[in-house]
Amino acid sequence: MNSLLTNSEGAGTYLKSKRIRLFLFFVGLFAAAALSMAATNYHIEDSFTAIPKVIVWMARNLVPDGKSLTRLPKILDKLFETVLMSVAASVSAAALSFPVALAGSATSCKQRWLMYSARGVASFFRNIPIVAWAMIFLLTFGQSPFTGYVALFFASFGFLARAFIEAIDETAAAPVEALRAAGGSYGHIIFQGVLPSVLPQMVSWVLYMIETNIRSAALVGLLTGSGIGFTFSIYYKSLQYQSASLVVITIVAVVLVIEAVSNKLRRLIL
Amino acid sequence: MALLEVTSLTKYYGDTAALRDISFEVKKGEFVAVIGPSGSGKTTLIRCINRLIPASDGKIIFDKENILNLRGNALRKARAKIGMIFQHYNLVERLSVIENVLHGRLGYKSSLEGMFGVYSEEEKEKAFNIITLLGLDDYVYRRCDQLSGGQMQRVGIARALVQDPRMILCDEPISSLDPSSSKVIMDYLKKIQKEFGITVVVNLHQVDVAKKYAQRILGFNGGSLVFDDEPGELSKKQIYKIYGTEAGELIID
């Protein structure tokens, strides 16, 4: 039947049916949103009219006052502890991730069963959200900074192992082949071929992990009673909103600073 | 005297045969070109010789040893005597020229020395001389990702030469290069064979280049060796046999 149509007619029908499908997709999307709102008794107009009230409340309760500023040194102290914990968790997780990634990459591991089990371990740890880790270890170790560290460690480990496997697969295959052909041993191939090829990407991922962990540490701290998250929850629960908001502002500031620093570092190493 | 003796070499990928019962000899100091269409088994052959790919059956006698029986350190020693040059150079591009060239010594290194890149004075001296020989002396400490394709391939040749190889295998060494860089690379390979007496086996896509440089040509089609003779014997009929009729016409014109 197509052969009876000219090319331009054929293309015209094709484009038209594509437009209709796109239109139906958006109609469906809006219908789904409307139905969900109706089912949950959510009135969008109420949310918008409430905005001015929210702003007034925020201005009255969330702008740090003099009293909260006297707590700044204490807050910064806790924040510093949190930053150190993120760095420690990220770096130690990276140290464990590297050998697992070597086992999990098809480039550096010729044993199929080992490769699949390493990949399985990495996926398992990566797919459990950090809050779930925090809650699991809360039951095991109780409320302590160590619990927070362990939660960050396991979540970072899964993520980094996965990222390192991809980095090795992507960049190291060619040098690995060359060093094998030259008679290099497994150790030579890893240290002289794989490591120099993937090191910049690995460092970049660890820096990213440190940034992410500082953000997550605030949340994990709420649960595990450590670091800046705990400080926030104390102020929040004792209704000292000015101090709680000061905590949030300092977290944002520190995350921005760390991001700027790690971007500088990234440019230096790449 | 045969340096390399391949007997009834067979390679299967699953059920498909990539090499069928291949037998040939390469004399010491010979320049051999391997030609054939894509998928005819050229790359598989080259990689079976140094065991980057395990062969399914047959014998590969190199320097009086059957390569297919070697394991561990004995295999490393045999590989050290065979240099290899790749289409995409296969350098550690973030490392400098000298570091990449010294990688050619890894086959002779103990595990720890090699892992941390500890090389002797003689080895460094040798690497410098070879780098100079290949006209790269201005780039010794330059990172390889800053070099042109032709320069990177010369680094690849230097890395193979520093191995003190008896034979060099080249897997389409000029397929990613422009004509003038291609000529430079082929001239270096010829020079290595002539002046150092190193055996060269090179996979090529260009029949004219194979005819110009090689002393012998092996022609592959569908995993079988269909031509094994001097370049002068490569007639139209033979080219048709290797490449099939249509592609053959293109090559001859």
Q: Domain check: are B70 and B172 in the same one?
A: yes
Q: Domain check: are B147 and B183 in the same one?
A: no
Q: Domain check: are B178 and B228 in the same one?
A: yes
Does A212 have pLDDT greater than 60?
A: yes
> For the residues A212-221, what does the mean pLDDT come to?
85
For residue A54, the model assigns a pLDDT of 87
Q: Are A188 and B111 an interchain contact pair (Cβ–Cβ within 8 Å)?
A: yes
pLDDT tens digits, one per residue of B125-169: 999 999 999 999 999 999 999 999 999 999 999 999 999 999 999
For residue A3, the model assigns a pLDDT of 54
Does A129 have pLDDT greater than 80?
A: yes
Of B128, B153, B154, B130, residue with least CA distance to B141: B128
- B-chain residues within 8 Å CB-CB of A182? 79-80, 83-84, 103-104, 106-107, 159-160, 163
Burial of B142 (0-12, 13-18, 19+ CB in 10 A): middle
In sequence order, what are the residues at sequence separation of 6 or more whose Cβ sits closer than 8 angstroms to the Cβ of residue B109? A184, A185, A188, B119
The range of the structural domain enclosing residue B112 comes to: 91-164
End residue of a domain, out of B103, B137, B164: B164
Question: Nearest residue of B to residue A173 by CA position?
Answer: B90
> For the residues B180-198, what does the mean pLDDT come to?
96
In sequence order, what are the residues at sequence separation of 6 or more whose Cβ sits closer than 8 angstroms to the Cβ of residue A114? A103
- A-chain residues within 8 Å CB-CB of B79? 180-183
Query: ipTM > 0.90?
Result: yes
Whether B163 contacts B76, CB under 8 Å: no
Has residue B71 been placed in a domain?
yes
Q: Which of residues 191-220 of A touch B (CB under 8 A)?
A: 191-193, 196-197, 199-200
Q: Are B111 and A184 an interchain contact pair (Cβ–Cβ within 8 Å)?
A: no
What are the residue boundaries of the structural domains of chain A, listed by start? 2-61, 66-269
Distance CA B226, CA B9 (A): 14
> For the residues A61-88, what does the mean pLDDT come to?
87
Q: Domain check: are B106 and B51 in the same one?
A: no
Whether A211 contacts A258, CB under 8 Å: yes
Q: How many A×B Cβ pairs under 8 Å?
A: 90
> For the residues A118-140, what does the mean pLDDT come to?
91
Question: Nearest residue of B to residue A201 by CA position?
Answer: B94
Whether A162 contacts A122, CB under 8 Å: yes
CA dihedral B242, B245, B251, B253 (to 10 degrees): 150
- A-chain residues within 8 Å CB-CB of B111? 185, 187-188
pLDDT tens digits, one per residue of A163-197: 999 999 988 999 999 999 999 999 999 999 999 99
Q: Which of B50, B84, B106 sits opposite A192 (nearest CB)?
A: B106
Q: Domain check: are B75 and B111 in the same one?
A: no
Distance from CA of B36 to the nearest CA of A (A): 23
pLDDT tens digits, one per residue of B82-139: 999 999 999 999 999 999 999 999 999 998 999 999 999 999 999 999 999 999 999 9
Q: Domain check: are B242 and B190 in the same one?
A: yes
Does A208 have pLDDT greater than 50?
A: yes
Question: Nearest residue of B to residue A175 by CA position?
Answer: B90
End residue of a domain, out of B130, B164, B198: B164
Distance CA A242, CA B135 (A): 70
Q: Domain check: are B8 and B49 in the same one?
A: yes
Q: Domain check: are B148 and B200 in the same one?
A: no
For residue B161, the model assigns a pLDDT of 97
Has residue B220 been placed in a domain?
yes
> For the residues B49-72, what does the mean pLDDT come to?
94
The CATH class of A66-269 is: mainly alpha
| Poorest-pLDDT segment among A259-268, B142-151, B223-232 | A259-268
Of all residues in chain A, the percent with pLDDT exceeding 90 is 43
For residue A1, the model assigns a pLDDT of 47
Q: Which amino acid is at B101?
A: V
Q: Which of B92, B109, B163 sits opposite A175 (nearest CB)?
A: B92
Q: Domain check: are B3 and B21 in the same one?
A: yes
Q: Which of A185, A191, A197 sits opposite B76 (nearest CB)?
A: A185
